[in-house]
Every structure is written in C-alpha cells, then in structure tokens.
Amino acid sequence: MRIVETKAQVRAQVRRWRDAGEKVTLVPTMGALHQAHVNLVRLAQRSGRAAVSIFVNPTQFAPGEDFERYPRDLEADAALLRRAGADLMFAPATEEVYPRGLGDLTRVETPGLSAELCGARRPAHFAGVTSVVARLLLITLPDAVIFGRKDYQQLVILRRMVEDLHIPVEVVEGPITREEDGLAMSSRNRYLSSGERRVAPRLNAVLLECAERLRDGERDFARLERDAAARLERNGFVPDYVAVRRAGDLGLPSASEPCAWVVLAAAWLGAARLIDNVACSPPPGEPIA
C-alpha cells in the first residue's frame, strides 16, 4: 500500500491506474478506522483499486463539538488498511485540502435537506461535509466513491451534490456494519462507558420495532416517532430526533402513498451522539408509489 500526502502524488497514482485501464474507488474517512471501514475497502476492491482518504475535516465541526478530541492514529489506520489490502492511503494536511485557510472558504451546499434532521441540530455540519467531499473528489479524481449507509442523510445529500454538480463519479452505497448485538459500528462508540455500551444497542432495537409497526400497517408517522423517542428516553438516551421518511429522498411520507421508508434517529448516550437507521418497505402486495 502506498501512503501519499499531497494532491500531486494522489493524482499521479490515480492517473497511472486509470491509464492502465483500472477502476479506482475512493473511500473517504476521518480515520479511527474499524471493521466497518474495512468492509467498505473490500467493497471497493471488487471493482479495482481501493484508495482511502483520511482527513478529520474541521469545517464540519461546530464550536464546542469534538474536533479536538476526535480520535486520530494514522499509524494504526495505515496498519489496518495494509491488512485489508487497500492500494492507497491519502492523508493530506489541512492546508493541502484548504490552501487558502479556513477563514474565507469556497463552499458547496445543498439547501433544504441539509437543514433537517441532523442538520437541524448541527446547522453548519452538512455544508462542511459537502464542501470537503467535493474537494476530495476533485483532488483524487476517482471513478467511484463509497459512502456508508449508517449516515443515511449524508448519503442522500452527497448523491444529490454529485448529481447537481455533474461530477463524473459513481456513488456506491456501503451497508451498515454492526456489532453482534446490533450496535452500528462508529469511531465515536469509543466515547461510550462500559455501562453505556451495554445500553447502546437499544437504539437499533427501537428503530426495528418502529419499522415492524410500519410493516404491520400503522401509518400514524407522528405517533410512531413519539413512541420511539419516548422508549429511547426510558432507556437512558437523550434523543435529537426520530423520523420516518421516504427512503429515496428523505421527504415526508404520506399515508395515502405507500413507498419504501427509512426510520432514522440520532440520540445522545453520555458523551456519544449515536446515529442509526433501518429500512422498511410496505407489506407484500401493497403497491409502492
């Protein structure tokens, strides 16, 4: 595996692979890698070369969030990527991604959806995400890019950004990787105490219950959301939101127009803000709009 730090180096390597007829897939990460990232690398390897970027992006953290304490260990990340068989690790410095500094940035934003759900609690977050991902795609120029489904809102927003800006890259959805007890793997899970770690899988359990009620025909979405949030509170969480949305675009669902849904939630458990989502389709035989 080659490790590079500059856009000139990463572009040169990607160009060599593409000139040789090989497909290059980028897996953008903020490091603190774990098995879920390994699974995304392996998904990338199915079609060719796997390139992984590691960059803790300052523009997606608001003041008071965990930018300074976000876990960083490039040596451990590189060792994990070598074992996973990644072809390239791109670990740029902040000035490589933001050469003019952070004070007067050119930004890429997706209005509307970026202000809902997680965006309502973290107003500048998704503008930071889209701005940095656009830069990483233009720096690396891959054929495809993989985003994990765990942050489903981010996935939908980044798909829209790629489509709206006509960026010539295929967006691939990576599945959620879970611990044996159902907790979605996340770098921030290390913020959980041992007691909180035992409680954390209940987030997924609550979403699964909500999805099951949808499959059973319940269509009072507001009540489903309230019930799920109340159950999370009883289990020690502090919910930011629980939401039932259309799966394709995260629009508000309609009881009269069955579709594929997704149940999403973000909730605090101690110092960790956990997110998760569960897909849900109408019962067999019920038409999908």
For 27-81, what is each residue's pLDDT tens digit? 999 999 999 999 999 999 999 999 999 999 999 999 999 999 999 999 999 999 9
Whether 116 maps to a domain, the answer reads yes
Q: Decide which of 143, 174, 205 is a domain's last residue.
A: 174
Whether 179 maps to a domain, the answer reads no
Residue 40 has, within 13 A of its CA and on its CB side, a CA count of 30
Q: Both 209 and 272 in a single domain? A: yes
Q: Is residue 248 pLDDT above 70, yes or no?
A: yes
Q: Decide which of 152, 174, 196 is a domain's last residue.
A: 174
Whether 286 maps to a domain, the answer reads no
Q: Decide which of 117, 143, 174 is a domain's last residue.
A: 174
**Total count of domains within the chain:** 2
Q: Both 138 and 260 in a single domain? A: no
Q: Both 85 and 125 in a single domain? A: yes
Q: Both 191 and 135 in a single domain? A: no
Q: Both 192 and 168 in a single domain? A: no
What value does the mean pLDDT take over residues 222-232?
98
Q: Can you give the residue range of the structural domain that contains 127?
A: 2-174
Whether 201 maps to a domain, the answer reads yes
Q: Both 13 and 105 in a single domain? A: yes
Whether 32 maps to a domain, the answer reads yes
Q: Is residue 285 pLDDT above 60, yes or no?
A: no
Confidence of residue 289 (pLDDT cuts 50, 70, 90): very low
Q: Both 82 and 225 in a single domain? A: no
Whether 288 maps to a domain, the answer reads no
pTM of the entire predicted model: 0.95
Q: Helix (H, G, I), strand (E, B), or coil: what is residue 112?
A: coil
Select from 150, 143, 172, 176 the least CA-distant residue to 159.
172
- What is the CATH classification number for the domain harbouring 83? 3.40.50.620
Residue 63 has, within 13 A of its CA and on its CB side, a CA count of 0
Confidence of residue 288 (pLDDT cuts 50, 70, 90): very low
Q: Both 148 and 217 in a single domain? A: no
- What is the CATH classification number for the domain harbouring 215? 3.30.1300.10
Q: Both 78 and 205 in a single domain? A: no
Whether 289 maps to a domain, the answer reads no
Whether 193 maps to a domain, the answer reads yes
Q: Both 135 and 30 in a single domain? A: yes
21 CB-near residues (< 8 Å, 6+ apart): none
Catalytic status, residue 37? yes
Q: Supply the pLDDT for residue 271.
A: 96
Residue 253 has, within 13 A of its CA and on its CB side, a CA count of 26
Q: Both 196 and 153 in a single domain? A: no
Q: Is residue 286 pLDDT above 60, yes or no?
A: no
Q: Using one digit for the tens of pLDDT, what is the confidence trace for 154-211? A: 999 999 999 999 999 999 999 999 999 999 999 999 999 999 999 999 999 999 999 9
Q: Both 17 and 144 in a single domain? A: yes
Q: Is residue 4 pLDDT above 50, yes or no?
A: yes
* Long-range contact set of residues 64-71: C-beta below 8 Å, sequence gap at least 24: 65/122, 66/188, 66/191, 70/30, 70/32, 70/187, 71/31, 71/32, 71/187, 71/190
Q: Using one digit for the tens of pLDDT, what is the confidence trace for 117-158? A: 999 999 999 999 999 999 999 999 999 999 999 999 999 999
Q: Supply the pLDDT for residue 283.
A: 63
